Structures are given as structure tokens and as C-alpha cells.
Amino acid sequence: MPHSKLSGKLVHEATKHSYLSVQMNPNYVDASTQPRAFKVYPQFYRRLQLNSNNSTHAFIKLTSTITFEKIYKNVPYQLRVNPSAGALYPTEVYIQIRDVDGFINGIYHLEIENNCLTLIYELGDDGLESYILPNNRINGFIFLVSSVYHRSSWKYQDRSIRYCFLDSGHHLGSIAASAYLHEKNIKLIFDFDKLSLNADLGFENKEFISSCVISGEVQAKPVRRLRLSIPFVCGTDYFQVNQFVEDAYKATSMQPSHQQKLDHPQFNFHRQRFLENVWNRRSIRRFQKQSISQEIYWRIWENIHKPIPTENIEEIEIYAVVHRVEGIIPGIYNGRNLIQSGEFPEKTGYLCINQALAKDCAVTLFFVSDYKNYQTALQLAGFIGQRVYLFSNYWGIDCSGIGAFYDDEAQEFLRTNKDVLYVMAIGK
């Protein structure tokens, strides 16, 4: 279906899982064919090595860095500060830096593998502002989060469009966490001219911008569009077209999001402990059917619902299926309201395609939305998901995101007419 006839609702409908669809398409892949997960520009581009002793460098590095390396079946895997479905890491980050000491005014690619910034475009009187905030100039930082979608579609096929947006949201959450630790205000932007920006950044059809974060001084001063196109560099070692993903991206880039007044969250975490938590965050693969305390559960709940610093918004409603929280009756909750009491671990495990994570945890969280803009909704679900990871871990609770579930059956189980976008499990 051409993108002109697609919508967020149709994209969601076309990428649903059911018991029958999973049985008919178990989606086995040859791990040896996995595309490369790091984008690197040619060697002749100018690079700036990031130094953790420099506070600005440390702020940039913590948004995207590798935090752990493990060997699985004789293959090394680099785990990053941001979680990703299947550890496929489709997201890349570009940063425009203007009028910041120690930096050439330009657009940089954050080269995660080598811990450096690669200067891909030097600014004059032009810049990214004209695509994102027309008639304004940002003295500071503009972060762009993109998806090299083949890294995800290689395994998840059409449903990868969801994972690309959820992973973008996780990455936005990592940028927000670094901004908090380095005492920088940020603003998330989802509604802007993404298609023109993709073209001028030289992405062809192989990569797309999903969102933006600004941090700096906003001046009422026009900035013209990029005077030159940036040469194309592929983010994988090989590429296969998924026309559905490309059409779905274009279609969901055109619908404006709901709007709200900008509001910044206020957190009160111990910063050194929170920094260690950011570095040590992992997705847990097994829970021990242990209870968690009611006090910690409500702390997590309160903090994940604090304001999101954006004017572009889609409401994300969270249903909690409580299995093992001290002092709370097991059952399905919407906030603090008990919808149905009962023991449902086997049901949530089944709904999440028989993953033990969803039944052995203390609480299974279902994120639902009745959205205008599908891209924005999924990214906000991922952003809140990153909060769940970090805030749970901060209080000693483990966490894992779950992107695979039986869509219609989960919706029916929750008794909601809103689309289920994401599932998370927390526990010990």
C-alpha cells in the first residue's frame, strides 16, 4: 500500500501479532547475516575524540556510549546505554553544535564504536534550525535521533517499524538522563520537516530521522537550510529494502501530534548513584517470582509519570498487572484503580508470546494510546520505558522491555479500545 494511503492505525493493524501469525511465521534468521550495527564515516572526515574529563564531552558521550561487552557463541556484543529490541541498535545520533567552546560550529555524527564525534558538515549561516524551529537559532546543541531500519527489519520484518520508534524513544530517554546528570534543560521535538531533512542529510532511503532534542539558548534569528547536501554513507555493511517500513515512516511523519504546554520534570536522585545506574542498566532475561515492596513500586510509578519536556504529545496510559507486590491485591490496575482482581501471571506470559519474563516478574506493564501521530506515540512509549528501566534499577528493581505480544488479545484482556504499544516487566 503506498504511503499516501497509510495511516498510523493502518500501520499498527498491519504489524499485529496473533497466535496464528506467530505459528505461521516463526521468523527464524541466520545470525551470521546480521547487518553491522555501527555507522562510520570515511577516514578523511575530521574527528574529535571524546574525553570524559571534559564536562561537555561527558554529556555527549553518556547519551549513547557502550557500557558493556560480552561474548555470545564466540561473537562479541557491545551493549549500550540505551536498550534496544534484540540488541540490534538501529538508532544513530547526530549533533549540531553551535557557539560552544572547543567545537567547530557544525553537524557531527556521534561515532559510538570509536567514542568520537565526526564532523560531517561545517556551518555558515545555515543549519538544522530551519527544518526544526523555523526563524530561530539554537546556540548550543541539537540532537537528531535516526533509525538505520535494516538493522531491525533484518530480523523483525514489517513489525520493525515499531521497534525503530520504540528504540528512538529509548535513545531520547538516554539523552534526557545525561542532560539531568549534567544539569542541562532539554526540549523534545517530534513535529518537524523530517522528509526534507533526510534528503539534505544524504540518507537516501536507508535511514530516517525520527525525533530531535534541543539544549541551548533559543534566539529569534532566521537560519537558512543547509546550503549543501551531505554525501551518503550507509549505516550497514549491506542493505535490503523493506517497502512497507519506508512507506509507513513517510505516512506517519505527516500527521501532527497533539500539543501541550512545555513543562520540565523535577527529579531528586543522588547524582553519583544515578550515574552508576545509567552505566549499569541491563535488560534482565529471567525473574525469580519474588515480591517487591509497595513503597518502591509507587516511587517508580510516581517518577515515570512526571512531565515529559515536549510540546508535541500523545497520551500514554499504563495498565499494571500486579502479580507480586507486597500489600497490593493481585489484578489489573489502571493507575491505582483496581479493574479486576485475580492471579494473571500465566495469562500475561501467554499474551507476551509465552515469554517467562511476563509471568515471573512482579508487575507486567502495558502501555496503550489513542494517538493522532503513531511515530510520536511509540517514541513516547519508549521514552517512558527508558524511565522505567532507570528508575526501577535505581531502587534495586530489575526490568525488561517486551515488544512482542498478541495485540488484539492483550487489548481484550485489558478491556480497552486503545492500541497496545509496548509491554514492560519489572521484578527481582
Q: HSE of 49 in the Cβ direction (CA atoms, 13 Å)?
A: 2
Please tell me the predicted confidence (pLDDT) of residue 139.
Answer: 98
What's the predicted TM-score (pTM) here? 0.97
**pLDDT per position as a tens digit, 157-175:** 999 999 999 999 999 999 9
Residue at 17 is within a domain: yes
Please tell me the predicted confidence (pLDDT) of residue 175.
Answer: 98
Q: What confidence tier does 4 reach under pLDDT thresholds 50, 70, 90?
A: low
Strand 312-313 to 317-322 pairing:
unpaired
Rounded to the nearest integer, the mean pLDDT of the chain is 96
Residue at 261 is within a domain: no
Residue at 330 is within a domain: yes
Please tell me the predicted confidence (pLDDT) of residue 380.
Answer: 98
Please tell me the predicted confidence (pLDDT) of residue 2.
Answer: 55
Question: In terms of domains, do 63 and 147 share one?
Answer: yes
Mean pLDDT of 50-65: 97
Please tell me the predicted confidence (pLDDT) of residue 275.
Answer: 97
Residue at 38 is within a domain: yes
How many Cβ atoms sit within 10 Å of the Cβ of residue 411?
19
Question: In terms of domains, do 86 and 167 share one?
Answer: yes
Tell me the CATH number at 360.
Answer: 3.40.109.10
Question: In terms of domains, do 308 and 376 share one?
Answer: yes
Question: In terms of domains, do 309 and 210 share one?
Answer: no
Residue at 401 is within a domain: yes
Residue at 418 is within a domain: yes
Domain count across the chain: 2
**pLDDT per position as a tens digit, 338-386:** 999 999 999 999 999 999 999 999 999 999 999 999 999 999 999 999 9
Question: In terms of domains, do 307 and 190 share one?
Answer: no
Question: In terms of domains, do 240 and 361 share one?
Answer: no
How many Cβ atoms sit within 10 Å of the Cβ of residue 367?
25
The residue out of 238, 254, 270 marking a domain boundary is 254
Cα angle: 133, vertex 212, 39; to 5 degrees? 130
Question: In terms of domains, do 72 and 203 share one?
Answer: yes
Residue at 48 is within a domain: yes
CA distance 56 to 24: 50
Residue at 275 is within a domain: no
* pLDDT over 80 (residue 75): no
Please tell me the predicted confidence (pLDDT) of residue 366.
Answer: 98
* pLDDT over 70 (residue 111): yes
Question: In terms of domains, do 249 and 289 share one?
Answer: no
Mean pLDDT of 318-327: 98
Question: In terms of domains, do 229 and 85 share one?
Answer: yes
CA distance 303 to 391: 7
Question: In terms of domains, do 364 and 300 share one?
Answer: yes
Question: In terms of domains, do 53 and 152 share one?
Answer: yes
Question: In terms of domains, do 170 and 296 share one?
Answer: no
Contacts of 71 (CB under 8 A, 6+ apart): 77
Domain of residue 422, residue span: 284-427
Q: What share of the chain is helix, strand, coil (3-state, %, to 5)?
A: 35, 25, 40
**pLDDT per position as a tens digit, 216-259:** 999 999 999 999 989 999 999 999 999 999 999 999 999 999 99
